[in-house]
Amino acid sequence: MTSDRYGVFDDAAREYVIERPDTPLPWLNYLGQDDLFGLCTNTGGGYTFWRDARLRRLTRYRYNDVPLDSVGRYLFVKDGASIWNPGWKPTKTPLDRYECRQGLGYTCIRGVRDGIEVELRFFVPLGQNVEIWRTTVRNVGVEAKDLSLFSYAEFCLYEALNDMTNYQRTYSIGEVEIARGGAALFHTTEHRERRKHVTLFGCTREVAGYDTSRDAFVGIHNGLHEAAVPFAGRATSSVAHGWNPIGSHQVDLHLDPGAEETFSFVLAYAEEGGTPAGLAVLDRYADPAVVDEAFERLRAFWDDLLSRFQVQCPDPHVERMLGTWNPYQCLVTFNLSRSASLFETGIGRGMGFRDSNQDILGFVHLMPGQARRRILDLASTQLSDGTCFHQYQPLTREGNADIGGGFNDDPLWLVVSACAYVKETGDTSILSESVGYADLPGSRDDLLHHLETSVAYTLGRRGPHRLPLIGHADWNDCLNLNCFSTEPNESFQTAGDVEGAGAESVMIAGLFLYAVRELSGLYRHLGRPDDASRLERERTQLLEAVEAEAWDGDWYLRAFDAGGRPVGSRACDEGQIFVESQAWCVLGGAGAHDERARRALGSVLHRLTTPDGVVLLQPAYRRYRVELGEISSYPPGYKENGSVFCHTNPWITLCWCLLGDGARGLESYLAICPSTREERIETYRCEPYVYAQTIAGPDAATPGEAKNSWLTGTAAWAFVSGAQGLLGIVPDYDGLRIDPRVPGSWDSFHVTRRFRGTVYEIEVRNPNGAGHGVSSLTVEGRKIDGNLLPSRADGGPVSVEVVLGSRTDRGRTATAPATTRVATYDRP
């Protein structure tokens, strides 16, 4: 453990190989893709839950503990006097060799010490409510060994918040059942008629003993690293009555040199059928061949999913992120929204309305059927006036009123996701699916009308500058312009707003321009030009308001506060420029004809761009401003107050692409790309294989430090910015549009794309360095006009050849903005 790097990408295997356990932070992975999910760090830390991380938590996690992940899937090895863990924790006994392979839906940890190698492969078979710990123990030394292994899983009493806060209750109600001599340990707390579920922690091999009481296994005054039973070398057959039920098996092994044994521990959740159902699962996975076959099916599942989009291009980061890790993260964010990670506790936050709608953008090409269901679920949490529950609980699908509301951007994201779904699939039947409104039980409306309700919501709520009212906040949760909070004990997010306050959001205006253009395009596709024109008229009016009221001279304002004063203006002393309004006004088509778009982007480049990405605003707020809210309460350079809030960066990448500047687009794409961070990992700290929500900005005490990895809208937008913005493989209503914006230095690239059931092999050449503009498009050897591949039903593969280099590029320009880029942010 002396090397100065922590790991390396194994691109062929689609794994990140962590080579030392003492990573700058625990590096997380996820197990499961259907109902049962596990969080698994590179030392085996983390927990497992079924469907809802709060309501059905199967194993326990201890928050705010030191070290950060101090409970998990642990296996203790007792080899003579030496007690160690293959994943290093919790004993941290030095290993001769350690490796953790974080793969797609599995984690494989291997530890070697004194001639014994233990390999643990954690995964959840497709469609099954079981987490398998496939265990292989090998004698790689020269002496025969007698070993004892002790497994460890700590049960959670199902409702995670109660489990960690209500000991007067929980310490008396915990129950277990022991079967098969301790090989099958059941957690049966509250297993009565009302609750049918049980959890099994089982071992497929004969056991020499067991424990189910944490106090007996660990010792009342011990930490897990000094757990009593492994150090004593004998299980105690303890039975938990209340307190803290756990599962632990003792497995004794005699291994001659060269010998090995493979078996599994299984953590199974039986929703129905009680303990017999658990035993049936244990029997099924007793055969290692069944375990291996389930693992191969998981691998095949991912190979198939990822085959929908693959790229070969001159940049290895683009290849590996778009080909493997980014879609993987998109699937996880789609499944979990913002509920459970090392930064999201799995307790407070359910499925976010705006978050889940945006997650669909990066996920819809992977599993369109699931995206369809999600869009309809989300629509059903909309209220009849267009507002939306900001969040809902996945298990109950009930809107969560306790976490606040009035985020006036929310409704428009439904339009964006629904249009993206139709563009991907061509399936317009979703628009006539009937969905009710959350405030009118039994009501029915079709999805298309929900989208109209969203548009009407924004149109009906405009302020003195004819711009949309922000409500409690827009995409930026912390821009609370109507709340005026002076009460130290209230949450900004749930604090009420001043009655009738009229702060306006330029970002929502830009989002409206974008969403309505999507929807009018949909109407044209549906053959409803009158509806399209109606929307376009509304759009034109709002665009006029934006250009008349929201241009600050070199960039777009961010908002008008409740007193009508501009936010994000050169007239402000802090918070002079924000990224969100530049991004959304430009993406929405503002400033397209009079250089404003390019000037706004030039300002982003000059004022907000750092080597770590684009910061959210500048200068950061240094004192609390009651008229702005939570944003000004954060320390400068962190979170919404001027970090590189990664979610916004792909928007800027898309803007560069829209302006035809592929070189800046790629630069912007790479600036937040985690795989570029390996060299600066001591500073960056988070996983180099998935995006984080924030990277501390130049105003922070720890610039370059990432936080909140995994569950962030960055994932979906990064995919869109790379696949559609840069590579220009753009689903459209009438087919697949080819519109690349790559750096002039790229000779060529190749994309494999499955679209509406047909596989396209798209070879793009860039012979004269233009990087954009399709000058010729050849499909199966025949030239076609334009840049649209019409959909076809033959399955393919269809070979497509694209040559870039048109001079006109349909009115867009590739020239760089007038301003020059600064290498580091220069403070005004």
Q: Which residues are catalytic?
A: 477
475 binds, among ligand NOJ, ligand BGC, none (CB under 5 to 8 A by kind): ligand NOJ
Q: Which residue in 52, 154, 452, 477 binds ligand BGC (CB under 6 A)?
A: 477
* Smallest separation, CB 126 to ligand NOJ (Å): 29
Q: CB nearer to ligand BGC: give 52 or 640.
A: 640
CB of 640 to ligand NOJ, least distance (A): 5
The listed partner (ligand BGC, ligand NOJ, none) that binds 476, CB under 5 to 8 Å by sort, is ligand NOJ
Nearest position to ligand BGC, beta carbon: 477
Give whichever of 147 and 608 is closer to ligand NOJ, judged by the CB atom: 608
Give the pair of three-digit tokens for residue 32.
């499961």
Task: Closer to ligand BGC by CB, 409 or 477: give it.
Answer: 477
- Select 189 or 345, whichever has its Cβ closest to ligand BGC: 345
359 binds, among ligand BGC, ligand NOJ, none (CB under 5 to 8 A by kind): none
Q: Which one, 315 or 409, has the nearer CB to ligand BGC?
A: 409
- Closest approach, Cβ 495 to ligand BGC, in A, equals 12
Between 378 and 473, name the residue whose CB sits nearer to ligand BGC. Answer: 473
Region from 107-115, 299-307, 322-330, 475-483 binding ligand NOJ, contact rule CB under 6 A: 475-483
475 binds ligand NOJ (CB under 6 A): yes
| Amino acid of residue 253 | L
DSSP 79: E
Is residue 650 a contact partner of residue 714, using CB atoms and an 8 Å limit?
yes
Tokens representing residue 541 in the block: 């009016």
From the CB of 619, what's the least distance to ligand NOJ, in Å? Answer: 19
Instruction: Rule CB under 6 A: say whether 477 interacts with ligand NOJ.
Output: yes
Q: Does 355 bind ligand NOJ (CB under 6 A)?
A: yes
| Smaller CB separation from ligand BGC, 117 or 497 | 497
Residue 493: which of ligand BGC, ligand NOJ, none does it interact with, CB under 5 to 8 A by kind? ligand BGC
Cβ burial 749-786 (10 Å sphere, 16+ → b, else e): bebbbbbeebbbebebbbeeebbbbbbebebeeeeeee
* Site for ligand NOJ contains 640 (CB under 6 A): yes
CB of 639 to ligand BGC, least distance (A): 5
Does residue 615 bind ligand BGC (CB under 6 A)? no
For ligand NOJ, which is the closer residue by CB, 477 or 705? 477
Any idea which residue has 């409510």 for tokens? 129
Picked from ligand NOJ, ligand BGC, none, the partner binding residue 352 (CB below 5 to 8 A depending on kind) is ligand NOJ
Beta bridge partners of 804: 774
User: DSSP per residue over 576-636, as a string?
Assistant: -EEHHHHHHHHHTTTTSSSSHHHHHHHHIIIIIEETTEE-SEESPP-S--TTT-GGGGSPT
SS3 assignment, position 653: helix
Least Å from the CB of residue 712 to ligand BGC: 10
Which run of H or of E encompasses 254? strand 245-255
- Angle at which helices 506-525 and 410-425 pack, to 10 degrees? 30
Pick the stretch among 106-114, 348-356, 589-597, 810-818 that binds ligand NOJ (CB under 6 A): 348-356
HEC per residue, 96-136 = CEEEEEEECCEEEEEEEECCEEEEEEEECCCCCCEEEEEEE
Locate all alpha helices (DSSP H) within 461-550, ordered by sequence: 506-525, 529-549
- Residue 129 corresponds to which tokens in the numbers above? 């409510």
Rounded to whole angstroms, the Cα distance separating 796 from 792 reads 9
Of the candidate spans 63-71, 347-355, 514-522, 768-776, the one that interacts with ligand NOJ by CB under 6 A turns out to be 347-355
Minimum Å gap between C-beta 810 and ligand NOJ is 32
How many residues belong to the chain?
A: 828
The residue from 32, 202, 352, 619 that contacts ligand NOJ (CB under 6 A) is: 352
Residues in 640-659 at the binding interface with ligand BGC, rule: CB under 6 A: 640
Q: What's the min distance (Å) between Cβ of 414 and ligand NOJ?
A: 14
Q: In this complex, which beta carbon is closest to ligand NOJ, that of residue 561 or of residue 640?
A: 640
- The closest alpha carbon to 34, from 274, 280, 301, 273, belongs to 301
- Does 474 contact ligand BGC by CB under 6 A? no
Q: Are 755 and 736 in contact (CB under 8 A)?
A: yes
Query: Which listed residue (145, 462, 607, 639) binds ligand BGC by CB under 6 A?
Result: 639
Please tell me the count of residues contacting ligand NOJ according to CB under 6 A. Answer: 9
**C-alpha 14, offset from chain centre:** 18
Least CB distance to ligand BGC at residue 477 (A): 4
The region of 266-274, 350-358, 558-566, 762-770 touching ligand NOJ under the rule CB under 6 A is 350-358
- Closest CB to ligand BGC among 249 and 639? 639
Residue 473 and residue 513 in contact, taking contact as beta carbons nearer than 8 Å: no
d(CA 623, CA 637): 13
Question: Where in 208-247 is the site for ligand NOJ (CB under 6 A)?
Answer: none
- Give the separation between CA 219 and CA 37, rounded to whole angstroms: 30
Q: Return the number of the residue (406 or 796) whose C-beta is nearest ligand NOJ.
A: 406
Check if the beta carbon of residue 246 is closer than 8 Å to that of residue 254.
no
Min dist CB 352 to ligand NOJ, Å, is 5
Q: At what angle do helices 368-379 and 326-336 cross, to 10 degrees?
A: 30
Of 60, 191, 338, 558, the one binding ligand NOJ by CB under 6 A = 338
C-beta of 768: minimal distance to ligand NOJ in Å? 41
| Residue choice 57, 187, 191, 354 for contact with ligand NOJ (CB under 6 A) | 354
Residue nearest to ligand NOJ (CB): 477
| β-strand pairing of 758-765 with 798-804 | parallel
Name the binder of 474 from ligand BGC, ligand NOJ, none, CB < 5-8 A by kind. Answer: none
Task: Pick what 374 binds: ligand NOJ, ligand BGC, none; C-beta below 5 to 8 Å, kind-dependent.
Answer: none
Binding mask 478-517 for ligand NOJ (x = CB under 6 A): x---------------------------------------
What are the φ/ψ torsions at residue 423 (nearest 5 degrees)? -60, -40
DSSP state of 758: E
For position 493 contacting ligand BGC by CB under 6 A, the verdict is yes
CB atoms within 10 A of CB 369: 9
Contact between residue 296 and residue 302 where contact means Cβ atoms under 8 Å apart? no
> Is the CB of 355 or the CB of 661 nearer to ligand NOJ?
355
The beta-strand segments (E) located in 584-687 are 609-610, 613-614, 617-618, 644-645
Largest interatomic CA distance in the chain: 83
Rounded Cα distance, 198 and 220, in Å: 26
CA distances from 529 to 532, 534, 541, 586 (A): 5, 8, 18, 25
H/E run at residue 209: strand 209-213
Closest CB 751 distance from ligand BGC, rounded Å: 34
Residue 57 binds what, of ligand NOJ, ligand BGC, none (CB under 5 to 8 Å, by partner type)? none
Nearest residue to 103 (alpha-carbon basis) of 12, 215, 237: 12
Strand segments, DSSP code E, in 568-648 are: 577-578, 609-610, 613-614, 617-618, 644-645
Q: Could you tell me which of 76, 187, 75 has the C-alpha nearest to residue 134?
A: 75
Using DSSP, state whether 423 is helix, strand or coil: helix
- Residue 478 touching ligand BGC (CB under 6 A): yes
Q: How many residues bind ligand BGC (CB under 6 A)?
A: 5
Dist. CA 773–CA 813, nearest whole Å: 10
Measured from the CB atom, the residue of 101 and 338 that comes closer to ligand BGC is 338
780 touches 798 (CB < 8 A): yes
Q: Which residues lie near ligand NOJ (CB under 6 A)?
A: 338, 352, 354-355, 475-478, 640
Q: Which residues lie near ligand BGC (CB under 6 A)?
A: 477-478, 493, 639-640
